[in-house]
Amino acid sequence: MYSQLEQIALSEFSDVVLRAQTVGRRAGVALKLRLHIRDGTIVDVWLSPNRTRYAYHWEQRAKRGLLHRHDNAPDHPHISTFPKHFHDGSEAAVEESYISDEPPTALREFLTFVRAKLAEYQ
């Protein structure tokens, strides 16, 4: 699955994504996909082996003090889209997430968000 997501990132979002790499290996399986973003930040995509759990995480704390992450860890039961939720700028700022459950679509949605935010930061 990570190779398919890497292809999407590099071909459809080449204006945003500089390069991609798989990170870590356990039993010969990549643990996550790391996308290097043009502004020096990174996006990490993690999918559980059975694809029931996920995280799409944009790490910007070193550059802007921000992070953005869609994930479905069951740790915010008060959110109406539980277990899906979105960290909007920080770990503490949690709101509903409507990101797709299909990884290719979710990656496109997330990288579209990254692209739009980068345009705002210019």
Residue with tokens 């995480």: 57
- Residue 116 CA to residue 13 CA, distance in Å, equals 12
**pLDDT at res. 27:** 64
Q: Which amino acid is at 62?
A: A
All residue ranges of the chain with pLDDT < 50 are: none
pLDDT on residue 50: 85
H or E segment and range at residue 111: helix 103-121
Q: What's this model's pTM, rounded to 2 decimal places? A: 0.93
What per-residue confidence (pLDDT) applies to 122?
79
Q: What secondary structure letter does DSSP report for 40?
A: S
pLDDT of residue 26: 67
Give pLDDT, residue 74: 95
* pLDDT tens-digit readout, 39-71: 999 999 999 988 899 999 999 999 999 999 999
* pLDDT of 28: 67
Q: What are the boundaries of each domain within the chain?
A: 2-116
Measure Cα distances from 54 to 14, 62, 64 in Å. 23, 23, 24
